[in-house]
Structure 1
């Protein structure tokens, strides 16, 4: 039974106004936040590192995915008088075998797995998807509860070629205010 430790997902957060005052780029800069956004990103949410702890390959071969790991993005000082909602979009390197799931960075020594992202209620949040997740803004602070899980790529699962070693994956989160 093989296990791996210290595997992580890095989430970089970029905030943008949908009103056209700020145009999205291919490489969002988390520090480039427009001055008139209705919320401020809490400093601990600029870069979120998620540790998957121990992952056992036998579990992935049997069930195809791991239990979810929770994490959160925190917004503070939201002013719902400016704008009342936001749409959350994810971008990153997308799996060709499992579209909508995040692939591992090239520096990773693991292979045969990808990362799925979802809301706390289990709604899939596909990477590079056309649909965005709508959020209501209320005055004050807002915590966006999210989850991530590892999923075996079908070809690696059927050929028993999952390699669990250290890995990194990076997703960009964009909040389009409405």
Structure 2
């Protein structure tokens, strides 16, 4: 597992248009990649990745923005690249088949507008913890 200091990965969303977000209710997907290096195990072994953090009180399964964020009215969704949702604080997580050597665990993140809420644009932060369980 490649870890830089205490941070596993940082996700930077591009500038998002409030109008576009209000029309579709979602931003474009942004790739999130966890890199596992030098994996060794039996054939077709797997890893389960669970994501934990502060869940958005209005959007179950979505990550809440930190209270210090200027942006409001959105939560952060996570999914595998095949579109399978990976809800925050769900013990099922996402499962990936591993091979010996290096493996990329590919996810997407996006902003989801809260239903019936005004979206306030601005900078934001949110934190989650990824737990890896080899199965």
Fold shared by both chains (TM-score > 0.5): yes
For these two proteins, the number of residue pairs brought into alignment is 134
Q: Does 1:85 align with 2:85?
A: no
**Equivalent residue for 1:168, pick from 115, 125, 132:** 125
Q: Does 1:126 align with 2:87?
A: yes
Q: Does 1:150 align with 2:111?
A: yes
Which structure carries more strand by proportion? 1
TM-score, normalised relative to structure 2: 0.92
The structure number with the bigger radius of gyration is 1
> Is the CA contact (8 Å cut-off) linking 1:83 and 1:177 kept in structure 2?
no
Matched residue SS, 2:20: helix
In the superposition, relative to structure 1, how do residues 112 and 165 fare at CA in structure 2: closer, same or farther (>3 Å)? Answer: same
Q: How does 1:1-40 map to 2 (within 5 A)?
A: none
Matched residue SS, 1:121: coil
> Is the CA contact (8 Å cut-off) linking 2:43 and 2:99 kept in structure 1?
no
Root-mean-square deviation over aligned CA pairs: 1.8
Quote how far apart the aligned CAs of 1:83 are. Answer: 9.1
Structure 2: segments with no counterpart, 5+ residues: none
Aligned to 1:56: 17
Quote how far apart the aligned CAs of 1:84 are. Answer: 2.0
